[in-house]
């Protein structure tokens, strides 16, 4: 049985009368340091979701990076956070009559013309919105590992299958990769469930903070519950760890977006498995000093 635990008990940690399965023996707060995941790359130091941002993370010594995948008008997968190109590119200058400049309304060739670096700093002028293929090539070259977010999947029917296809083409769905260096996550439970049904071997994460009572349902298709750091408590993290995910291991939690030493110390103390951060150097320093 997924999400199983031995016997029902009430946990005082939750501060509410929630009946929970007894924690698994291995679900105690971990003494291991959490993984540090560079959010959109090292996005405090380089333009988010660009090759420069993951290169920057690599140079700082960070293996894990996070990104966001969406789809162009002509069906190409690209790495960008917003559903509009306006904030992180010069699209308003290049295509002034194309408001509201949605990713889904531009071809890959049009997007390839855009400058995705100058908004951040003149130093990054000429950085591009990478295709997922380009991005995976670079992550591979850097020997990095990836938390890939399917962003706004409701806008892109079929994006789960297409994403998996690209990952497969780029050599990211072999047994070793699936086991060690890939998580696919989304705020959409339907999207995460779809990924799990298409490739049950791939590790998945649900972005959000479902109630404890809902966790068993999520544990059928998600290995991780990845919550905002502002929404979690020690009791919630313990509750997550008390359930088994679809691969028979305790559910994990990668929390986001943690950019200060104080917040790092707090979430590390809660026992989270990963810290997703725009400032991986700040988080690493705080963890080393704690
Ligand atoms: O990985 C967690 C985080 O990326 C979710 O929020 O909006 O930055 O994609 P967002
Ligand atoms: Ca994201």
Pairing of strands 182-186, 145-150: parallel
Q: Please, which pLDDT band fits residue 9 given cuts at 50, 70 and 90?
A: very low
What are 171-180's pLDDT values in tens digits? Answer: 999 999 999 9
**179 found inside a domain:** yes
The residues annotated with a catalytic role in the active site are 39, 81
Q: Please, which pLDDT band fits residue 158 given cuts at 50, 70 and 90?
A: very high
* pLDDT for residue 5 is more than 60: no
**101 found inside a domain:** no
pLDDT of residue 16: 34
Range of the structural domain that residue 41 is part of:
3-82+130-289
User: Could you tell me which of 131, 106, 49, 51 has the C-alpha nearest to residue 82?
Assistant: 49
7 CA to centre of ligand 2 in angstroms? 36
Rounded Cα distance, 251 and 95, in Å: 45
**62 found inside a domain:** yes
**10 found inside a domain:** yes
Lowest mean pLDDT, pick from 25-29, 113-117, 219-223:
25-29
Average pLDDT, the chain: 91
User: Could you tell me which of 244, 242, 271 has the C-alpha nearest to residue 9?
Assistant: 242
Once rounded to an integer, what is the mean pLDDT over residues 121-137?
A: 98
Rounded Cα distance, 13 and 88, in Å: 42
Pocket test for ligand 1, best of 207, 255, 277, 278 (most atoms within 8 A of CB): 207
Residue 207 beta carbon below 6 angstroms from any ligand 1 atom: yes
202 CA to centre of ligand 1 in angstroms? 20
* pLDDT for residue 20 is more than 50: no
Measured between alpha carbons, how far is residue 94 from residues 70, 104, 114 in Å?
21, 17, 7
Count other C-beta atoms under 10 Å from residue 289's C-beta.
9
* E-assigned strand segments in the chain: 8-10, 19-21, 35-38, 64-71, 77-79, 145-150, 182-186, 204-207, 224-226, 254-255, 274-277
pLDDT of residue 30: 52
**226 found inside a domain:** yes
9 CA to centre of ligand 1 in angstroms? 33
Contact 274, 254 (CB under 8 A): yes
Pairing of strands 77-79, 64-71: antiparallel
224 has which bridge partners? 205, 252
Q: Please, which pLDDT band fits residue 1 given cuts at 50, 70 and 90?
A: very low
Residue 149 beta carbon below 6 angstroms from any ligand 1 atom: yes
Q: Which 3 state secondary structure label does DSSP give 36?
A: strand
81 CA to centre of ligand 2 in angstroms? 7
Largest CA distance in the chain: 62
**154 found inside a domain:** yes
- Measured by CA distance, the residue closest to atom 2 of ligand 1 is 256
**117 found inside a domain:** no
Pocket test for ligand 1, best of 145, 148, 149 (most atoms within 8 A of CB): 149
* pLDDT for residue 215 is more than 80: yes
**260 found inside a domain:** yes
Rounded Cα distance, 171 and 173, in Å: 6
What are 239-276's pLDDT values in tens digits? Answer: 999 999 999 999 999 999 999 999 999 999 999 999 99
Q: Which 3 state secondary structure label does DSSP give 160?
A: helix
pLDDT of residue 31: 58
User: Could you tell me which of 26, 30, 16, 7 has the C-alpha nearest to residue 212?
Assistant: 16
pLDDT of residue 249: 97
Contact 274, 252 (CB under 8 A): yes
* pLDDT for residue 24 is more than 50: no
Residue 66 beta carbon below 6 angstroms from any ligand 1 atom: yes
Once rounded to an integer, what is the mean pLDDT over residues 29-57?
A: 93
Q: Please, which pLDDT band fits residue 32 given cuts at 50, 70 and 90?
A: confident
- What total of structural domains would you count in the chain? 1
* pLDDT for residue 238 is more than 90: yes
Q: Which atom of ligand 1 is nearest to the CA of 276?
A: 1
Structure tokens at 13: 């940690």
Among residues of the chain, what percentage have pLDDT more than 70? 89
Once rounded to an integer, what is the mean pLDDT over residues 196-205?
A: 98
Q: Please, which pLDDT band fits residue 282 given cuts at 50, 70 and 90?
A: very high
CATH code at 45?
3.20.20.190
């Amino acid at each position: 049985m997924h999400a199983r635990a031995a016997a029902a008990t009430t946990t005082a940690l939750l501060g509410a009368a929630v009946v929970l399965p007894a924690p698994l023996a291995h679900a105690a707060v971990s003494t291991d340091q959490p993984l540090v995941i560079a959010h959109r790359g090292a996005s405090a130091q380089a333009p988010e979701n660009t090759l420069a941002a993951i290169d920057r993370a690599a140079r700082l010594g960070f293996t894990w990076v996070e990104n966001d995948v969406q789809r162009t008008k002509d069906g190409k997968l690209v790495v960008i956070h917003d559903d509009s190109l306006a904030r992180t590119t010069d699209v308003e200058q290049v295509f002034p009559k194309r408001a509201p400049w949605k990713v889904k309304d531009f071809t890959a060739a049009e997007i390839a013309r855009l400058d995705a670096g100058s908004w951040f700093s003149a130093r990054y002028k000429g950085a591009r919105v990478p295709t997922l293929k380009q991005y995976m090539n670079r992550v591979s070259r850097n020997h990095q590992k990836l938390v890939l977010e399917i962003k706004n999947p409701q806008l892109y029917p079929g994006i789960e299958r297409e994403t998996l296809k690209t990952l497969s083409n780029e050599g990211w769905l072999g047994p070793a990769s699936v086991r060690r260096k890939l998580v696919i996550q989304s705020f959409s439970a339907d999207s995460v469930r779809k990924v799990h049904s298409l490739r049950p071997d791939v590790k998945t994460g649900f972005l959000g903070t479902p109630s404890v009572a809902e966790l068993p349902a999520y544990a059928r298709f998600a290995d991780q519950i990845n919550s905002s750091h502002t929404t979690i408590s020690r009791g919630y993290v313990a509750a997550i760890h008390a359930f088994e995910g679809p691969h028979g291991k305790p559910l994990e939690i990668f929390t986001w977006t943690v950019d200060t030493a104080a917040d790092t110390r707090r979430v590390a103390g809660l026992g989270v498995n990963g810290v997703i951060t725009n400032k991986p150097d700040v988080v690493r320093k705080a963890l080393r000093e704690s």
